Chain A
Amino acid sequence: MSKVVVSLVGLVSLAIGAPVKAHAQGGNAESTFPFEPIHAWPVGLGGAGVALVGSQFAVLNPAALVGERAAEISHRASPIGARDYAISLGFGGLWGTIQVAARRRDWGEIARDLGLNDLTAGEQSLSVSFARPIVRQRVMGGVSAGRLDANYLGGRTGTWAFNAGVQAEMGRGFTLGVALLQAGRGFESGSGRAPLPTRVRPGAAWRGRLGRIQLTAAADVPISAHLDSPPDLHTGVEVRGNWGPVSAATRAGYRSLANLDGSGSTQNAWALGGGISMGPVAADIAYSFGAVFGNDRFISLTVRW
């Protein structure tokens, strides 16, 4: 346990130190590489889930993987012309859980305004995560490492990113989680390295039951390692009903994103979603609306075994 704590503290320190250094040296803004979840479940919860268990939340906290055996595929359609695809495969055993995940964002023909239909942009990542219980199935820990590559109009750049996190079950349905996300050196560009949007993301979740109805509430407060903007807020609730092997859920969420213009202002967005699962198969859908670009649609399919 102490090693995990020490490691996490070290990672947090590293994460705080590295981007600050990069920020100060090059005067470079954070990378825009896509890291936010696109699985419809966490999206329906406003992007919250650092303290929730499930492979869907592994992108928010690798410790969420513990005990999961699942394959997922997700898709996001955005009004800004981007299409996101994600696929992952996780397998768990007594030794822990390992997950391989790939993701791509395709910007399509991005110079079409200029009459150039053969120029594209895209970002992709491939990551490996590992998680296992640390203390008697009550404290879980996980780490992940990912390779990030981007191609903007033929110009390529890439880097590595690292995540680490722990989750602790506190009893009475409460779970706490904290994760260090997107730590790394950042993308190289002509003016130096653009730091990754490193976040220390604490969060809490509660799960309770009311007869057949299962309630879930979650909230995350990702804190930027080096921006002086206020922390973001992701929060959401889920109501799930179970009927034998079938369950259905509805979700609502809210998120705020701090603007990067130094004004301290935020962008607010709402999310609605739902899901249905039948035995090992689950399908989820979510809509994010109220954002500046318009409405996003997320669809995910999950198979567990």
Chain B
Amino acid sequence: MKSFACTLLVLAAMASSAHQATGQTFQATRAIDETKCRRYLFWDKCVTVETDRLHWTFTRAKLGLYVFGRTWATASHCTHVDATETKCLRSISISTDPEWNRVLLGQAGTFLRLLGKGGTPADGPYHFLGPLGVDITRREGEWHVGFVADSRNNRIAVIAFGYTCKCVRWLGTLDGSESGKPLKVPHDVTWDPADTWTFADDRLFIADTYNDRVVVYQVSVDPDAGTMNKTYLSAFGTTGSGPAQLSRPQGIRVRSRVGRWLGQPITWTDVYISDTDNRRVSIWQYDASNSSTPGSASAAAQTSSIVGSQFVGITHDYYGDLVVVDRARNMLVKFGSYKGGPFTTLKTYGGTSSWSTGNFNQPTDAEVIHHYWQDGSGGLVQETLPYVQTVEQWTATTGGQLHHLGVDAEELAVIPGQCDATFTFLLTAYGDYNLKVKNSGGGVVASWSRVGVSSGRKSEFWNAQGHSAGTYSYLVEHRSAYGDETTWRTSTGPSFNLNCFTVTATVPSGINQGGTYPIYGSSSHPADSWSWQKSYSFFTTDQNSSFYVPHDVGTYTIDWQLTARRITDGAWDSDYQSTYVSIAPDPPPCDVPVCEPMSPPVQRDTTTAPRRIALPQGMLPRRNYHVGSGAWIGRRGRSGPVVQQFYSFTGRHQARAPVWPNVIGEVESRLEPRNAAETGRVIFTRRTIDPGDAYRARFLFNTPQSSGLFVGLAFDPELGVRPGDDSLGFDPETGLIWLADPDSGAIGYFLTDVPSGARVALRQFSTRNDAWRPDPVGDSAAYAEISASGHAFTGKPGDVRLLIAIGPFPSGAKNIDVGFVLLSAPSLTALRERFTTAPRSVLSLFADDTTLAGAAAIKRFRLTQAPPDPMAPEGVVAISPALVPGLSSDSTQVVGGDRAALRDAVRRFGITALAFAVPDGSQAPVKIRLYDPAGRLVRTLVNDTYSSGTYRVQWDLKDQRGNRAAPGVYIAIMEAAGFRGTTRLVVVP
């Protein structure tokens, strides 16, 4: 209703022609303080300007419709302005903010919205870099169209603004590429309507500042459809100071005059240009109707060059006089309108760099709008109001150049870690920057300097190791990299906290001989829960410890990981170090110049199938070679048994990951499969006998399909003796395999018990092809191979063992017991003597081992928590029950130091794995579901059929939808063949 009444009043006013121009009297009221940017409405009743806000109030609200007094924008850095005629609510104001790369819109004097953000054309519409000049159409109707000189993006953005919808539409851009030379930092744009009713065939004149020219387009826009058609018309102006030349034009306006020539109506299009670096204003006449050279322009007149001037924004007042903003001299200069005659200065306003009344401080743009109001007698008055845009106070003091304020650091953000931080910001234009990190005392503790950086999002990473905990802040100093801005300007980022906790592992860096070496742990704060890992396997929980390096020829790396927890707040930190070991071969062990040639330890065996044990001739092999000992399970291959599983006695399994128990010397030890694909496990039990120790190796097959299976033992010189100094041999007459060491004596083994009917073969075996050597040889090839390759450790390619194969077994075989005796003696001679007194069968010694017999069986379904293992694969894998306390009656109980390590691991990683057992002889569908404490199903973790065995399932902490589970307790329920078990999982923060 008010709008309607207003419209009536305006129409009535126009009809009565009661116009009264009073706008020539500029009276700035006051400036309150030094904010970065000010927009002044110079009028007699403009009263307030607030800090960091453009906020002004009319004490005489005209027609009761102008609702000024709203906040215009927060912390704006606006520089250019334009506005439509302020009739009622139909006024649109537009201003640009090159500091923050946005456009500000107002309606009826009230701030409407911010538009856009920093970005390049690749970021899509509504991204600006240093928007400067702006113009807006002045037609009645729903739509106004704004043209924004997006200077650093070298384009003109065309945007439509809707009155009633208060919406905007991106219509397109103009980049001058049709001229053969793209726009370069255009500073201003002006609109020249073809008619007053449509948006068709209007012209745009662009001040192509850094190309020293004006580019002319013809555009037709359809805001309803959101489209724009553009036609490049022409470009005029060249670089220089001559009459038809330009130098860095920064402002442009167009005014068409209608007259008669030779009796015919004719339209002159005058183009007014702030020829900034020539310190003058130029007028060109654009001839759109010239049929021979359409769109041609000619320089018509120029003001004289005014020393000290810097003409930028330019506009007309109500009478058509030219109002030009002189930024350097802090004034407005009004020139008489050009009508073909002289171009003279009529008047100046301001002139003092001051915020006081009547003065300007670095003005940048001006716009004169028509304004209607009701005077004291009720008559409607049309008034001309100039809006003058000024720059911030501080630029006056620092000498900053406004059009280079487009270089800025925006959207400062920091992502702090415990002891590091990543700083990000958007550099809005080609520039230099310094990023400085300050501590709470203001001291700079880190900085980065970058020069000539292209615009876009930047980041810097700060490793804050060595810095104390506390609050830090940072700032980005930036300036134009075009070389025309010497003063750094600053953008301040948010403060952040660091709480550094540093754990340091000190380990030997290079080792060239065997021995025991210390390792030390230290931390920046008091810490506990120390944990060392040696080559990815748990090593010790002692803060300081030592490790043994055998005198083995070879080069390898030991990777260390030290982890500890800060006592005060439970923060964790880890350090990673490496120890490089390179041990050269010993000099020849003999005193004579030429060593004794190598001899084969076993005789050549040309048979291809396992057979009764064949005892090759025992001979002393070369010293100082050892590979590994263990038990194995295999299947029949084309040329003999093929090893499928190999369990190292000494914990050096091929896969490196699990630490296997040291079988020899233990009362009971188990060697377990690593995954479901492996078919069996081995349980070793020891009994002490008179000359030594008797062992029973019980091989347990998971699969009833045992047909063709072999089992066996492998021995090599490493076992039980100081590595690197021993000898391997075999007495074919007795079957005794022995190891001899000059320092520690000799150890011997011999088989005593094998299953009835089983065939036994002794072979030389290489793991290079994970099979029997294709051509079993005595020594030379095998041992020379070891020597040449330097692979002295178990599990490496080139590994060779003496291997006993027992089998194959018929289908249905389940438990295979093998007995053997281990002897030790001070010398090889004494060993052979003890062998003569050793029993030839030992399995009867284990007849009372009922526990072991029962332990082998899994009698029922079971679900339980599983210890954390960061190295464990996700999903379901078959495991040993010994790895999970409580999983079955024969599982290992955690004791002593292992318990402490397990506790630390559980506290750190939570309980996120389950173990379940399927009883022997069965095969059952198993379903394990996870629920939250309220009873909602979170995830179906297992849903498959499993044969007898024990399994581990690692939860990847995802729910069924793939979201990461929140910290908390979750309930696992297992259902299998009538069994229902429950346990709990814990996800730690």
Contacts and interface: CB of A to CB of B under 8 A. Distances in A.
A114 B865 contact: yes
A116 B570 CA distance: 19
B936 A258 contact: yes
A119 B866 CA distance: 15
Range for the number of chain B residues in contact with chain A: 35 or more
Contacts of A81: 984
A114 B894 contact: yes
Contacts of A28: 963-964, 966
A304 to B, nearest CB: 29
A150 interface: yes
Contacts of B986: 110-111, 121, 152-153
Given A31-B967, A31-B968, A36-B934, A113 B989 contact: no
B879 to A, nearest CB: 14
Contacts, number: 168
B989 A156 contact: yes
A228 B629 CA distance: 58
Contacts of B910: 152-153, 155
Contacts of B885: 113-115
A79 to B, nearest CB: 8
Interface stretch (B615-623, B679-687, B898-906): B898-906
A49 to B, nearest CB: 17
Nearest to B989: A157
Contacts of A171: none
Interface stretch (B423-431, B651-659, B825-833, B969-977): B969-977
Contacts of A111: 865, 906, 911, 986
B907 A267 contact: no
Given A29-B959, A114-B865, A152 B969 contact: yes
Contacts of B894: 114-116
B17 interface: no
A152 B969 CA distance: 8
Interface stretch (A95-103, A172-180, A186-194): A186-194
A190 to B, nearest CB: 7
A80 B907 contact: no
Interface residues of A, number: 56
Interface in B884-934: 885-886, 893-894, 899, 902-903, 906-907, 910-911, 931-934
B987 interface: yes
Contacts of B989: 150, 152, 155-157, 187-190
Max count, chain A CB within 10 A of own CB: residue among B935, B964, B967, B989: B967
Interface string A90-132: 0000000000000001010011011110110101000000000
A116 B903 contact: yes
A292 interface: yes
A178 to B, nearest CB: 21
Contacts of B902: 114-116
Contacts of B962: 27
B961 interface: yes
A201 interface: no
A30 B963 CA distance: 9
B936 A157 contact: no
A33 interface: yes
B939 to A, nearest CB: 7
B982 interface: yes
A260 B968 CA distance: 15
Given A27-B962, A114-B865, A259 B937 contact: yes
A213 interface: no
B911 A155 contact: no
B938 interface: yes
A23 B932 CA distance: 18
Max count, chain B CB within 10 A of own CB: residue among A32, A118, A119, A263: A32
B964 A32 contact: no
A54 interface: no
A293 B971 contact: yes
Nearest to B885: A115
A239 interface: no
28 contacts: A27-B964, A29-B966, A82-B969, A111-B911, A113-B865, A113-B885, A114-B866, A115-B885, A115-B894, A116-B902, A119-B907, A121-B986, A152-B910, A152-B989, A154-B988, A155-B570, A155-B989, A156-B989, A194-B964, A258-B936, A259-B937, A261-B959, A262-B960, A269-B935, A291-B935, A292-B973, A293-B931, A293-B971
Rank and list the top 6 A-B pairs by shortest CB-CB distance, nearest first: A194-B966, A261-B960, A32-B968, A113-B865, A157-B989, A259-B937
Given A123-B968, A189-B964, 7 more contacts: A30-B966, A152-B910, A153-B988, A189-B967, A194-B964, A194-B967, A195-B966
Interface of A: 23, 26-34, 36, 79-82, 105, 107, 110-111, 113-116, 118-119, 121, 123, 150, 152-157, 186-192, 194-195, 257-263, 265, 267, 269, 291-293
